Structure 1
Amino acid sequence: MAEPSSPYLTATADAYDAVADLYADFVRDSLDRLPLDRAMVAVFAELVRAAGPRPVVEAGCGPGYMTAHLRDLGLDAFGVDLSPALIDIARKDHPDLRFEVGSMGAFDMADGELGGLLSWYSVIHIPPPELPPYFAEFRRVLAPGGYLLLGFFESEGGPVLQFDHKVTPAYRWPIDDVADLARKEGFVEVARMLREPLEDERFRRGHLLMRRGRTAAADTSSME
């Protein structure tokens, strides 16, 4: 895969490289206390398994704990991340899984190769004007009917908001706006979940489960 070229991609990779060990320790067991989040991922995995034996990518996999979780849910999962330091940790922690350095805006894979794509709090660092092409790339690599699951910080009904993420600048999105961006690239919404922040969290969490339509325009005939 190509190295990061846009300034924000390079800045994001450098920022995570600088705190890779600390970040990996912080998130490694984070799913243990998040039953609602695990439930969304479990539904995603069940739908992907039912659709057929295609691989799944975690786009922005960090240290690989979510990729390993997808494997434990029965998926043929691998991870991609901008940060070489985080990929090194992922490979060390999960030597049985495949991890690659690269951008989720330009996957090194064939059209329609994937049965599923998980973006778990990875689109949060993409500046809002730059986000739509990522959905086009997600659609390209997913097979028709393939599933996309997004996790992100939600702006609680307000506009898109930049905030002081502890690693590098990030954005909170209204869940309806994220759904609209995906719909314009041919995704059909399957389910959504908004979770209020825990005591030590600052923001509401948004989760969107989408299915790739059969054509470039969203297939709304089944949305009854």
Structure 2
Amino acid sequence: MSDTALILLALLVVLLSLGYWFTHRTENRQRKASKRADTELVQRCLDLLQALQQHRGLGAQQDAASVMQRNALAQQLDELWLNWPGASLQLPPLQQHWPQLRRKPADFDAHCRLIEALLEVIEHLEDRLYRQDHHRIRGLGEACRSLEDLARLRGLAVRAANYERCPPGLQMQLRFLCNRLLDQEQDLPLLALIERLQSDLIEPAQIRLAPTDCFALLTPLIEQRLQGIRLSLD
């Protein structure tokens, strides 16, 4: 083989190597960018979950403090829903449901439907990130659903506390959620909280908790659980 041919062959090898290196580098950058975008969106979803759950819990309350807090949450949610990526990340357009919910803060079921859709997005992101080697993400969806059980309990308790005695329909839902939470774990703070709800809200002939008491009673544990979820993702 002539010297010219050897030089051309060497140049070809170099060019192929450079092409492979640039392609590999570009793919790595794209994967990292995608992973970063998904991770940031997970945190945004957790912010949305927190705010929606609180907004639902305050939805039926008309005292000045609750209305003020609910309005502040609505403004926060306006910002969180702004520029929701939706189709660009192959996600449903959840933001389109918020304006109507904002106008009807007492619509408990509509809150639950939107939260359920958000939980499905979180589970989708969990699977996507896990495939990108973000192994610590595993269990996120399950943890968020457990958190939603607790937050739904808060919302129902606040509603029940508006009555003199817990209505049968709410009583049945509250009992179901309490039992499901206790089946999941035997955490001492949770046990104490459920015992308080059972004795002062769910079972007595006359309710001994105000709506604001119920919200204040459950919120610290919910926030603690949510913070634990956030820390597990770092």
TM-score scaled to structure 2, two decimals? 0.28
Larger radius of gyration: 2
TM-score scaled to structure 1, two decimals? 0.29
Greater helix fraction, Structure 1 or Structure 2: 2
